[in-house]
Structure 1
């Protein structure tokens, strides 16, 4: 459908004033379908949107009297300005009769007054003030929900009550995390609103209070039906009995539950809920109202997508639902961390890109939507433009329901609806006003979005794509960069430039691989998303076809996962950066400097190529180069202790590119990065001293991309969950698992490395009474590498240390060269064992600023008093011990050496890599 002016252009005539740009021939068969030239950016809605955003963020927890005063002042000042503008813009005209009887105007009263030429300045300022007042008022009303009604008082007193609540979000599992030696198991978390509350006094109150609900694993575990229950949960008598975790996860938004539980106050950083409800596994809520029809349909679509992806490889099975509908329930923590390290998390959160792809299938490129050459399915099917806009609006609303109203989804949907409205009405449109209008409407509707980091990042990225990216793309193309590559590079660089300071505020880290990883992932996003939505649509109808489409989508999805993992594992993938707003401001200034310098560098291709090569080397850090420049890994290293935080991970050199790994630490990314920096590609054996999470949770990082011969563990299978985790990882990679036995001797690297298992004895494997069974059952090794001895004590406590000291193997043991101090250097050490081993070097693995006080000052003092030189990962970073034939002395921190007084023992050198 074309406008009247467009028709005139096609026919060669124009009804408007002469305009060379409009009347010039277009060179097309039908002429130019959209001859109107775009003017400067329309920024009139930007100040009101920013004013509403800022006041909403400030007024959510501000004192009510301040908010009321601010609203009154803004409204009064705006009203005065509007009245003044009206009087000046429309002055009273006095008409007098002249001598001839005609009418004439008094020039003195009808003349234009000063300020008439720019009347809209007052209107613009008044609009900003009114939007600020609206934002503050809306935020004050929403913030009051956290304080009104009986729920806040009940939460402060940890009171028990019968609660009727409505689920407002999809249930999701909290991410398992390592806290010291223990892995905190995931629990189900969901957002809800309390509708009715009946405390112990029996007085029922009707309210509308937002809360956060945590549900534990049911006592019965998984039921025969998989624990899924019916859509939206069962009702009536079917709700009897404790609920399993899967049944909680099957709940849909708009479901109403009734449960009796205790309320608790929220955490200080939880600024959107008034209370926390913890429903224990033995409690069974009752479903009193099933979810609405649209939510049931959305649940079936999402469930069909999960079912269609069940048979895919692990990465595709986890990522495809996240790419399509934001369902990240299957994404493992280490993959999520890899996405975060490479700034690819926007792919796991449904955003405007997903909606753009859906609408592009319908209307084609948005820039051609009103032109004669418009593309997409709609013109091919003969659908008129206005009907196309209505269909697009319905798709947008359905998109929000299926993908859930997350901040980025709401922003994308609002922008899309405004753009579709402009298309349907035939009015001139611009995406900048659409974005500003979307921000304004959403902040007024839900002021909590004003404090949402996801909403901020979404708006910043969209604004960068609309303003910076086109200019940068044109600049790249002027320097002979291919158009498609220029557009992709400009989009990735612009989004990263404006979002990186905000990410630095939150994460205190800057990714150096974000732009290349986003560029490489971009080629797979569109096919993965299109095939994923096709799977979503066909799964409820024809599951075999959906499974076939999901299999096709698994290829680009696996590519994205490989990009994230590879980028995160690079030694120089990111750098630590000061956190908080100061760090964000510093990074913003640094980004501006880089952009200004980069503009000049682009004029010199060879200099640009040299800078790019230097950046690539800094990110990849190939071992030969880092060995020359930074001294890491040092030549001739025998043992290395990785800096993996509060945990243990030690590597014993076993030949060129090979190493025996003792413990894997708590973080897969950190241990993988350490092994890469050491150049370890083959692992003959992974020995896990015991099953505490700070020693085994990083196992996926050791197994990733390496040839692993076997896994050996202690015989004490506790904690059971972590022991099961190790077995599952081994089975997934088809690696045999065995138990270490005291007295066992093994070697690797052609005899360059050998070791002997000293502990646990047969009694210590499971029957030895101990205050801390897993710690006291730690596998203890005595390793020898070309004349250098290393004693690894795991996390042995004093009772087990004394028992170890009484064994014949340790009783006949001469002093060792290197000691891996037990239990991260805690205060609980047996002095007799320290005197017996008499190490020259003592290595302690501990996390920076850990809450346990490791290593204990008295332990460090005792080691030094015995003649040992102490190195610790929390201050020295990764540590490598160099044998007598080692290369350069020291490492990046200067290193140090240790030798015996009589000269009989080998001279040892230590290289460290600062954290």
Structure 2
């Protein structure tokens, strides 16, 4: 390119850029400035236009044959870095030496790179031919050298992690006093149910140990990465406010990382009972970024719950307010990438500056830059500043780094007036990032980001063109192709992580896509306005809340569909299977499109798989059988039961440890109304699934046992019920209730004993069996299991006894209080079939069916072989959820049947 006068002139043979549909906005701009930046003669038109060549069909065919020369070197560096992290320096040195020698040998052989002229269309563009490199020795040599570089970088980083005293102290589980520099925002893990109690989430921080004091008082200065795990405590809020670059002094216990080859040398465990001891304040840059993020959270305080939680996550990746159930909805619909700030956010910002994605490689410029008269070089500098600020405020997550690197490379091309090619830009970004941080080679987030971007650059344009040829409007074709391409390449990786496939991912992404750009732009506007004017920021946040609320509604609605997710084999074998099936479908798509009846049938099957109508599901699976009266849901290591109470209605007893399994079970049973929810006791494996029962159902009331222990789980039930506007009360001992043909009586626990009268006998100790008189008031317990609601149920000639988690003392007390307890048809065995059972009760009940709810491979050995043997000796048929799946019971007398879901 040379300049003559005020216009950029094209020399013969200079390639003319052509549009590539669906490319990100960061790649835009083609012409070189006609005047230096700031020149008086430069106008918006001068600096942003070139001769208005319209691309021909041949141009588009050439552009669609992508330049892939940098892809093998980038992949080689990626693979070598990820592999070398597991090996010692000696083996890496040998491998690097072999690669370098092989590359030098290839280069010494003098394989010449050949070129070929462009198509006839190139001659029509002024006699210039395009030059292309044929795959050959140069590419192989470059791949070997880049692989050697990646392995070297990984070996150096790995040696840095393994050096120093920290790894040894971790292996010894030693306590130490250390000084660290925080490298990330605190992030909270999800609460987990372990056994019968709930473990609150911990805080995790990435940090570098800079100083360590040993037991003998010796001090070592170093820089070793660790993961700081802060257990819950009274000062947790202070820990959550820490910013990157803050210096801390911590006393805690070191432990080895969970897996070999991690980027941390040890895990440093401490607690939040005391506020963090700050030794160095964060840098000014991090304080500014922290204030901007805090300002956005404050501006969003007036929004509804979903929008208040999602707006900071969508804009800057701050998910501290996102509740677990909303995060699960985003995961089920494959919208999680909206919460983990991705390159799309940066593309949207650059879109405002340099124009829409559809004109990314055209010579004409749109956006704010030409309207403001900004030259191309100044546009590149401005875009670079935006990318840098984006990384600082949104934190250097893998997808953010990938997007920033690609954006900076294309912006550099803008500033120098060179031709941009997006696949080489992506390959260069991958190569540079892997060499800078080899641990990215093992990051699933980085892998998904690169795959999604590559799909948008390679598959999406071709699929979009195919859809347009079949009469699909161009804009809709681009959106459909982009969503389909990214889902096709990312789904196998998701299978490795989650062993499931989302059947609603593409439609949910399409519906959410229209709201992402306005929500992001308005959110960033609120972020920028917050330090200047909070009322203005709140106004912008309010407007942004509308598209954000739409995104939340799409996620919740999609996740609520019965077939939103389908189980799939996990691991790389499952990923390979899904990839093969996807490839077969893609390759046969053109043939299938010629048969509309086949396409219509496939679409109908997909709709039925997502909606899963209960009648059709029952016909296909045989579960639950018609006329079922009782169902024991498979919720893992916990309890959840349903008593049929009319059409679409059921009385639910306990909810299991997790919302998803009980919700799925109720859907399969067709339960949309719950006239009563009974919680036998407050252990987490019986109540933590409560949000799943409340999800999309009409729940009239909740009744619980009188003992409000554990207190944190009782508070969880009250808090969750209050949020759903469901009243909570206590079941009255001895009460009897009826709904239609369903009748039940509360047999246990007994009423609380009356206050002792002076001179009367002392009540029994907690957990002890009642006195010989057998009166209910004489049994006192303060143990949650022994306070379980025990129900005697009769329905349609069928009798059931639901024992909750009663232990032997309470089981003996039940027999004493109800000595005439009748024989029952179905027994829900107490405490997941543990070995602690009262033989007299089991033999007295003589159940025909004994049902045990327990999780597969649970660490408690449930059910105990002794208990199963005793039940069979008593004449019972034993079914268990860990082997039989969910169990439905129907019939009575001689027609009593039980069918497992598995």
TM range (shorter): 0.7 to 0.9
Verify: 1:867 aligned to 2:858, yes or no.
no
Structure 2 spans left out of the alignment, 5+ residues: 19-48, 115-131, 755-762, 768-780
Determine which of 373, 393, 403 is the counterpart of 1:402. 393
Distance 1:673 1:567, change over 3 A: farther
Q: State the secondary structure of the residue aligned to 1:762.
A: coil
Structure possessing the higher relative contact order (Cα contacts under 8 Å, 6 or more residues apart): 2
User: Which residue number in structure 2 is paired with residue 134 of structure 1?
Assistant: 149
Q: Alpha carbons of 1:21 and 1:383: their partners in 2 closer, same or farther (altered >3 Å)? A: closer
Residue 878 (1) aligns with residue 879 (2): no
Gaps of 5+ in 1: 23-28, 91-116, 222-243, 885-898, 901-906
Kept after mapping to 1: 8 A contact 2:301/2:308: yes
The alpha-carbon deviation at position 30 of structure 1 amounts to: 9.5
2:787 is matched with: 777
Local SS of the residue matching 2:101: helix
Query: Is 1:549 matched with 2:540?
Result: yes
Q: Which of 216, 219, 223 is the equivalent residue of 1:201?
A: 216
How many residues were matched structurally?
Answer: 829
d(CA) in 2 for partners of 1:310 and 1:461? 33
Partner of 1:337: 328
Partners of 2:783 and 2:548 lie apart in 1 by: 43
Aligned partner of residue 312 in structure 1, secondary structure: coil
The 3 A distance-change label for structure 1 pair 530 and 475 is same
The separation in 2 between residues aligned to 1:880 and 1:670, in whole angstroms, is: 15
2:787 is the alignment partner of 1:799: no
**Residue in 2 that maps onto 1:742:** 733
- Partner of 1:806, secondary structure, is helix
Is 1:816–2:824 an aligned residue pair?
Answer: yes
Shift of 1:560: 2.4
Matches within 5 A, 1:290-689: 290-366=281-357, 368=359, 371=362, 373-689=364-680
Q: Matched residues in 1 for 2:626 and 2:428: separation?
A: 61
Aligned residues of 1:8 and 1:15 also touching (Cα < 8 A): no
CA–CA separation in structure 2 for the residues paired with 1:20 and 1:191: 47
Q: Which residue of 2 aligns with 1:752?
A: 741
> Using the alignment, how far apart are the partners of 1:656 and 1:735 within structure 2?
21
How far has the Cα of 1:2 moved from its partner?
11
Q: Distance in 2 between matches of 1:270 and 1:738?
A: 52
Over 3 Å counting, the alpha-carbon distance change for 1:142 and 1:6 in structure 2 is farther
Residue 68 (structure 1) aligned to one of 70, 83, 93: 93
- Contact (CA 8 Å) 1:57, 1:139: kept in 2 or not? yes
- The verdict on how the C-alpha distance between 1:836 and 1:563 changes in structure 2, with shifts beyond 3 A counting, is farther
Q: Cα–Cα, structure 1 residues 184 and 18, in superposed 2: closer, same or farther, change >3 Å?
A: closer
Shift of 1:284: 4.9
Q: Establish whether residue 908 from structure 1 lines up as the match of residue 899 from structure 2.
A: no
**1:102 is matched with which residue?**
none
Aligned to 1:153: 168
| Cα distance in 2 between the residues matched to 1:89 and 1:741 | 88
Report the secondary structure of 2:211's partner residue: strand
**Structure 2 counterpart of 1:49:** 74
Q: TM-score, normalised on structure 1?
A: 0.86
Cα root mean square deviation, aligned: 2.7
Contact 1:165 1:196 in 2 (8 A): yes
The 2-side partners of 1:33 and 1:371 are apart by 9
The answer on whether the counterparts of 1:70 and 1:133 sit within 8 Å (CA) in structure 2 is: yes
8 A contact 1:260–1:285 mirrored in 2: no
Distance 1:73 1:17 in 2: 41
1:334 shift after superposition? 2.5
Of 342-351 and 291-300, the range deviating more from structure 2: 342-351
* Structure 2 SS opposite 1:575: strand
The corresponding residue for 2:124 is none
Say which SS state the counterpart of residue 646 (structure 2) adopts. coil
Change (3 A) 1:668 1:4: farther
CA 1:515/1:764 → structure 2, altered by over 3 Å: closer, same or farther?
Answer: farther
The answer on whether the counterparts of 2:50 and 2:364 sit within 8 Å (CA) in structure 1 is: no
Match of 1:854 in 2: 862
Q: Write the distance in 2 (CA, Å) between the matches of 1:89 and 1:325.
A: 46
Structure 2 equivalent of residue 889 of structure 1: none
SS of 2:630 mapped into structure 1: strand
CA 828–119 in structure 1, closer or farther in 2 if over 3 Å, else same: closer
Distance change in 2, residues 1:43/1:660 (3 Å): same
Q: 1:721: Cα distance to partner?
A: 1.3
Question: In the alignment, is the contact (CA less than 8 A) between 2:823 and 2:845 conserved in 1?
Answer: yes
Aligned: 1:712 with 2:707: no
What's the counterpart of residue 215 of structure 1? 230
Corresponding residue SS for 1:773: coil
Q: Does structure 2 retain, via aligned residues, the 8 Å contact 1:396–1:413?
A: yes
Which residue number in structure 2 is paired with residue 786 of structure 1? Answer: 796
Q: Deviations over 1:176-198 (max 9, x none)?
A: 11112111111211010001112
Distance 1:178 1:806, change over 3 A: same
What is the rounded CA distance, in whole Å, between the counterparts of 1:433 and 1:131 in structure 2? 15
Separation of aligned partners in 2, 1:366 and 1:418:
16
Deviation string, structure 1 residues 509-562 (Cα, Å, up to 9, x no partner): 222222222222222222222222222222222222222322332333233233
**In 1, distance between residues paired with 2:299 and 2:223?**
38
Task: Specify which of 193, 197, 203 is matched with residue 182 of structure 1.
Answer: 197
| TM superposition shift of 1:853 | 1.9
Aligned residue among 25, 28, 32 for 2:52: 32
Q: 2:40 maps to which residue?
A: none
Do the aligned partners of residues 196 and 15 (structure 1) sit closer, same or farther apart at CA in structure 2, a change above 3 Å counting? closer
SS at match of 1:205: strand
Distance in 2 between residues matched to 1:551 and 1:647, nearest whole Å: 42
Contact 2:86 2:261 in 1 (8 A): no
Counterpart CA distance in 2 for 1:508 and 1:138 is 33
Shift of 1:31: 6.6
Aligned partners of 1:167, 1:302: CA distance in 2, in Å? 17
User: What are the superposed Cα offsets for residues 204-253 of structure 1, whole Å, 9 maximum, x if unpaired?
Assistant: 111110001111234xx2xxxxxxxxxxxxxxxxxxxxxx0010010000
1:314 positional shift: 2.1
1:835 equivalenced with 2:843 (yes/no): yes
TM-score normalized by structure 2? 0.87
Relative to structure 1, the CA distance from residue 869 to residue 266 in structure 2 (aligned partners, 3 Å threshold; closer, same or farther) is same
Contact kept? 1:255, 1:287, Cα under 8 Å: yes
